[in-house]
Amino acid sequence: MGNSFSRFFIGFSILGLMCIGPLRVQAADRHFIYSYESENIKAGEQELETYSFYQFGRNSFYSALNQSVEMELGLDSFLQSSVYLNFTQQLVAADGGGVQQGGGPILDGISNEWKFKLADSVSDPIGIGLYLEPEFEPDDLEVETKLILDKRMENWLATFNLLAAPTFNYADTGSSFLLRPSLGIGYFVSGVVFFGVEAMDENFYDNQPMRSVFSAGPCIQYSGKDWWVELTFMPQLANFGGNGLDFTDSQRDQIAFATSFHL
């Protein structure tokens, strides 16, 4: 089971890397994995992106891999949309000891993303964007919204996102809510290398007492002709909703890997 888990992660990453082609120079429309920017791709352009989130470290054994394949399309200078497939799989501690497959890899949902650019991060005092993404899962409907504020100043880039995501459960008619402010600050070391830091505070509201988990860590992106790859490491640093770090419902560490190429 562990070998199949690793093979799926490696194969998914290779899928993105295989699509890299030396066509023409294409600027990345995002430089952080957890936070968006107001910039959109140009009208008529298409990009294929893959995202892998490896989560691990709880009180009992836990290892999860959440992945997405996204097809992105520029519709206008102020609007882009995308459709992506979400996959998940888990390895968890078995009741009698050892490790058991917690599920997957399975198709966990389909998402439809819409991003609206209201102001430019370079020519305007501040870039402004709005984001809407319904995600349809087998037992849930999640509606993710974001306010995006960003600014590009020469080699420096900063972005702030405020995410609000209610989730409605079909089976028990219950609901939950996630409020997540996030921040990304980075520097263009060269024309192809970007280095930064990301931080986010995830606030969960459901049938349990409110949980507030803060994570932060470094990110690095490398861009080539019509493609880019990025790696981010996000350890949990604080739990504002309880005593000590939360390793019951949240993971200790999260590693994210993303690829993108222009079609």
Give residue 19's pLDDT band: very low, low, confident or very high (50, 70, 90).
Answer: very low
The type of residue at 250 is S
Contact partners, residue 54, CB within 8 Å, separation at least 6? 9, 63, 64, 65, 254, 255, 256, 257
Structure confidence at residue 18 (pLDDT): 43
Structure confidence at residue 96 (pLDDT): 58
Confirm if 69 and 82 have CB atoms less than 8 A apart: no
Confirm if 13 and 52 have CB atoms less than 8 A apart: yes
Indicate whether 155 pLDDT > 80.
yes
* pTM recorded for the entire structure: 0.84
Give residue 102's pLDDT band: very low, low, confident or very high (50, 70, 90).
Answer: low
Indicate whether 263 pLDDT > 50.
yes
Indicate whether 146 pLDDT > 70.
yes
The total of other beta-carbon atoms located within 10 Å of residue 77's CB is 11
Structure confidence at residue 17 (pLDDT): 45
Domain containing residue 14: CATH number: 2.40.160.40
Which stretches of 38-88 are DSSP H helices? Answer: none
Per-residue pLDDT of 116-135, as tens digits, reads 999 999 999 999 999 999 99
Contact partners, residue 124, CB within 8 Å, separation at least 6? none
Confirm if 140 and 170 have CB atoms less than 8 A apart: yes
Structure confidence at residue 21 (pLDDT): 40
Structure confidence at residue 138 (pLDDT): 84
Structure confidence at residue 213 (pLDDT): 94
The total of other beta-carbon atoms located within 10 Å of residue 22's CB is 9
d(CA 6, CA 70): 21
**What is the tally of structural domains in the chain?**
1
Indicate whether 86 pLDDT > 90.
yes
The total of other beta-carbon atoms located within 10 Å of residue 62's CB is 20
Mean pLDDT for the stretch of residues 131-153? 95
Domain of residue 246: give its range: 2-262
Mean pLDDT for the stretch of residues 159-164? 98
The more confidently predicted of residues 108 and 222 is 222
Mean pLDDT for the stretch of residues 6-26? 44
d(CA 195, CA 103): 35
Give residue 83's pLDDT band: very low, low, confident or very high (50, 70, 90).
Answer: very high
Confirm if 54 and 42 have CB atoms less than 8 A apart: no
User: Looking up tokens 């803060």, which residue turns up?
Assistant: 214
The total of other beta-carbon atoms located within 10 Å of residue 253's CB is 14
Per-residue pLDDT of 46-71, as tens digits, reads 999 999 999 998 888 888 999 999 99
Strand-pair partners of 114? 81, 132
Indicate whether 108 pLDDT > 50.
yes
